[in-house]
Amino acid sequence: MLYIGGQRKKNGQPTDKRGRVRPPYFGLFCLALFFFVVIFAELIAPFDPYEGNLQNTTLPPCWQEDGTTEHLLGTDMLGRDVLSRLIHGSRISFLISVGCIGFYGTIGIIVGLISGFRGGRTDMFIMRLADFWMSLPAIIVLFILASVHGPSAQTIILTFGIMGWPNWARIVRGETLSLKERDFVRLARVAGCGNLRIMFSHILPNVINTIIILATIEMGGIIVLTATMSFLGLGTQPPSCDWGLMLAEGRQYITYAWWLVTFPGVAIVIAVLGFNLTGDWIRELLDPKQKLQ
Amino acid sequence: MQGFILKRIAIALLTIFIVLTVVFFAFRLGGADPVAIMLPPNATPRNAKVLTEKFGLDKPLHLQYRGFVENVVLHGDFGMSFRYSEPALNILLQRVPATVQLGLVAFILALVVGLPIGIISAVKRDSLIDRFGRTLALAGMSLPTFWVGVMLILFLGVTLRWLPIAGRGTPLHYIMPAFCMSLYPIALFTRLSRSAMLDALKSEYVLMARIKGVPEIYVILLHAFKNASITVVTVVFGVFGALILGSVVVETIFSWPGIGRLVMESFFSRDYPVVQVFVMFVTFVVVTLNLIVDILYAYIDPRIRYQ
Amino acid sequence: MTNKKAPKNHSEKVLAVTDLKTSFFTKKGVVRAVDGVNFTVDRGEIVGLVGESGCGKSITSLSIMRLVPQPAGKIVAGEVLFKGEDLLQKSDEEMRRLRGDRISMIMQDPMVSMNQLLTVGYQLGEVFKYHHPGNGGSLRERCVRLLEKVKVPSPERRLDDYPFQFSGGMCQRVLIGMGIANNPDLLIADEPTTALDVTIQAQILKLMKDIQRDSGTSIILITHDLAVVAQICTRVLVMYAGRIVEQAPVLTFYKNPSHPYSVSLIRSVPVLGHRADRLFSIGGQPPNLSNPPPGCRFAPRCNKVMPICWEKYPPEISIAENHQISCWLYAQD
């Protein structure tokens, strides 16, 4: 959905002596850290992210005066431990983002397969529709949905689902078009396979590579966007520990509680860098011919 | 060329109409009862009835729809803001200049920084500028706008007190908001112009120009860049979408009196006519932008004209 | 057949290439595309450079022009004397001034060689603008005369057209026009007729012959098509796997091809009226240029191969006047 646009060529990658692309160690580290935290959140978070001790509100991080080592990154305005909230927040970010990509990705894949497979008028119509759809900014759909449905995490996922499919549809359609003419598809037809079966059992598996690349690349952007929407108040609602929401809540205290707005942002940046750097590298590996954006 | 433009205009109008319809039905059926919003808590059912009749909300839906469309198309009337008791459109239009000014500064900044860096990156690969450009692009895509804004306020506004942190008035007020808004667009421009230029520089016609002995500067700007610019123009949509979202975020953070902040305030105070107007306004602008870009394409690329 | 003798009034060498080596440094290793090429071109000659795809003919011509694709490509050794001066030692600006003026090139696919966003008139004018502005009339007049010279009809009107409005053959004429605009001493034509039909091909070849006759321009004609060579070239260079394996005047070459590769090439051309059960083709594949074998590179496909062919690369020797060959069959050990 992130219309980065145009064709991107390889040449932004650091290479080793033999010209092969070196793995992005920092990016992989960030990604690993992110997934580790997502999976083991309950085990590593020192406190419950939703329970606050009102005796200990807005404590600074441990290295500052007045900070304690109990709350490494301090506490927020309700006495909740910032570090624990960040850790659990990763899970929220992850789930929402995966929900979004899952939703619009599925629609995009199905539409792309149908469009590419059937060709002709259907294809033309769908592609025109996709073009038209892509030109509308997602924010207006967000406002409409949030007004009608109320702001929530589901609203965000719904918005992405509605607005995000055209890009994937177009890419999957491209792949389908070229795969359609290949021998193994012809053989499947001769063997008597119906259209649906060919689409899903034969063509789809070959498109998986592209889908993986797309998902990894876009994940970073989705995390930022969903955090932005929560920051604005149009997405996840309190008392959730969504990173964007944490930042929004912390804004009021910016003059004396700088840690409330700094660390959530750092968490976002680490997660996003992990996906962006890794995504670029994966594209290198799986798509040497630069068929993708 | 004429037919081309007319067709595009027709699609543009159709788009606006479709969005208008969606907006109407979404808000009308979405359960946000305008009467309930407008009335004070101690209102009686009779008050409610009077208001309902006054706004024509008891009429059948399709009549309401027709009334709505007529109002919009013939009178430019999107209804009254609940909060301000003034026409919603007027409220919006008053704040448009502020948003446009900020957006324009951010856009120009992004263009002036992003394009040249992208071009030089492509021409002088792996040079210092190339590496700087790639880092800049990565930063623009990975650092959330709202976080950068808040961090800037923290450092430059609160801690160092160099720059004003709210409102609009002096050129200094523009610096932080415009910088924030331009980060992501800069990333888009840099990446795209770089890749488009790399493609163009590998082409046969560039080789041909060098064979003819054309000086390198003209090869880059006239031959390569002209062809690359077609691709670059496509990114304007992405940039524009980013600027819209950016406006909402940045205006909220920096208390900039534009339509971004207006729509957020209106949303939270359930002043839905203003939200509606915002949606329609943005749609209108986007559709117009589409139109301009299509025409720009036809201007740059003669092949489209001659179809 | 037209007169094949090259005019020998000035027997100065327009081009003398010595031991030219150009390599590509890629992910998978170093590819030695041009690996020690030696030849000369006299004034007014039309030299045919033949070989199969990938043998290094195009890279040789790009190396002479110093336009090898970067950053992967690099000229690693050799000397290219153009009218006595080494092109490999010249600065970028000096080369730029020579290109389009004293040395010129025409490429294979005319449609992609032209910039589709600029008018033909503008692109034609560039070759005058950057070399001899203000010589002989306005830019437009000179372009019109150039188009007339290459026989493009309605030149006045067509100057304002875009390349996509031209047919392939017309486009190629325009490119030839660009090539000869400043009466270069050397014109390199890289497969100029491959993308065109046979009828147009004949016209283009005739045009090139006229150019050579009228202005004494030397031409290097790169092609894989021996029929084209037979029509207009005065001398033939046969290239294989980055090296030249045989050089001879054209009549000699067709009467007495000596290198086994040359023999196979000539045999591959089907002859009208001569029935054959199958078309002859040379078995095998050209060698991998990133790891060339120590001996003769044609050995795996040669029907006259001898043990020494696998061990050492044959030296270049003269077997007749103007006829050189690199093959152990002819070298007296």
Note whether C89 and C194 are same-domain residues. yes
List the single range of A132-141, C130-139, C269-278, C285-294 with lowest mean pLDDT: C269-278
**Residue whose tokens read 């009828």:** C199
Distance between start and end Cα atoms, chain B: 9
Task: Say if the Cβ atoms of A276 and B138 lie within 8 Å.
Answer: yes
φ, ψ for residue B194 (rounded to 5)?
-65, -50
Q: Is the ipTM beyond the 0.90 threshold?
A: no
The answer to whether position C3 is within a domain reads no
CA distance A190 to A97: 41
Residues of chain B with pLDDT under 50: none
Share of chain C above pLDDT 90, in %: 20
pLDDT of residue A8 exceeding 60, the answer is no
pLDDT the model gives residue B36: 67
Backbone torsion region of residue C74, taken as left when φ is above 0, otherwise alpha when ψ lies between -120 and 50, otherwise beta: beta
Interface membership of A224 toward B (CB under 8 Å): yes
Note whether C255 and C221 are same-domain residues. yes
pLDDT in tens, A156-174: 898 988 888 998 998 888 8
Q: Mutate which of C108, C113, C127 to disrupt the B interface (most B C-beta within 10 Å)?
A: C113
Q: Which two tokens stand for residue A54?
A: 């009102």
Q: Quote the minimal CA–CA distance from B303 to chain C in Å.
A: 8
pLDDT the model gives residue B56: 67
Q: How many domains does chain C have?
A: 2
pTM for the predicted model, two decimal places: 0.82
Measured CB to CB, residues of chain C less than 8 Å from chain B are 65, 67, 69, 71, 92, 96-101, 104-105, 107, 109, 112-118, 126-127, 130-131, 162, 164-165, 175, 178
CA distance C62 to C188: 9
pLDDT in tens, A217-245: 899 999 999 999 999 999 888 888 899 99
A224: number of Cβ within 10 Å: 28
Residues 6+ apart with CB under 8 A from A19: C26, C27
Interface membership of A20 toward C (CB under 8 Å): yes
Domain A37-46+54-181+209-291 has CATH 1.10.3720.10: yes
Note whether C61 and C206 are same-domain residues. yes
Q: Mutate which of A16, A18, A22, A284 to disrupt the C interface (most C C-beta within 10 Å)?
A: A18
Note whether C224 and C192 are same-domain residues. yes
Contact residues on chain C for A19, CB-CB shorter than 8 A: 26-27
Task: Say if the Cβ atoms of C100 and B226 lie within 8 Å.
Answer: no
Question: Which of residues B188 and A136 earns the better pLDDT score?
Answer: B188
Task: Return the amino acid letter for B247.
Answer: S
pLDDT of residue C6 exceeding 60, the answer is no
Helix axes A82-118, A153-163, angle to 10 degrees: 30
Interface membership of A148 toward B (CB under 8 Å): yes
Q: Which two tokens stand for residue C208?
A: 């090139």
Q: Mutate which of B202, B203, B210, B212 to disrupt the C interface (most C C-beta within 10 Å)?
A: B212
Mean pLDDT calculated for residue range A10-32: 66
Mean pLDDT calculated for residue range C226-247: 88
CA distance C263 to A100: 67
Which helix (H) or strand (E) segment holds residue C319: the answer is strand C317-320
Domain holding C167, by residue range, is 113-181
Mean pLDDT calculated for residue range A263-290: 85
pLDDT of residue A14 exceeding 50, the answer is no
The pLDDT mean for chain C works out to 84
The answer to whether position C4 is within a domain reads no
Note whether C153 and C129 are same-domain residues. yes
Question: Which of residues A106 and B57 earns the better pLDDT score?
Answer: A106
Nearest chain C alpha carbon to B299? C117
pLDDT the model gives residue C2: 45
Note whether C30 and C95 are same-domain residues. yes
DSSP character for B232? H
Question: Which of residues C278 and B244 earns the better pLDDT score?
Answer: B244
Tell me the CB-side half-sphere exposure of residue B240, using CA atoms within 13 A.
20
**Closest alpha carbon to B246 in B176, B165, B146, B153:** B146
CA distance A134 to B238: 9
Peptide bond into B60 cis (omega under 30): no
Nearest chain A alpha carbon to C27? A19
The answer to whether position C228 is within a domain reads yes
Note whether C53 and C124 are same-domain residues. no
**Closest alpha carbon to C189 in C199, C180, C198, C200:** C180
Helix axes C168-180, C139-149, angle to 10 degrees: 120
**In chain A, positions 214-243, which contact chain C (CB-CB < 8 Å)?**
none
Note whether C49 and C73 are same-domain residues. yes
pLDDT in tens, A54-91: 877 888 888 888 778 778 888 888 888 889 899 999 99
Helix axes A165-180, A120-135, angle to 10 degrees: 150
Task: Say if the Cβ atoms of C115 and B226 lie within 8 Å.
Answer: yes
Task: Say if the Cβ atoms of A144 and B196 lie within 8 Å.
Answer: no
3-state secondary structure C68-93: CCCCCEEEEEEEEEECCEEHHHCCHH
Q: What is the CATH number of the domain that holds C74?
A: 3.40.50.300
Note whether C31 and C160 are same-domain residues. no
Interface membership of B27 toward A (CB under 8 Å): yes
Note whether C253 and C272 are same-domain residues. yes
- Residue C69 near residue C193, CB atoms below 8 Å: no
Share of chain B above pLDDT 90, in %: 33
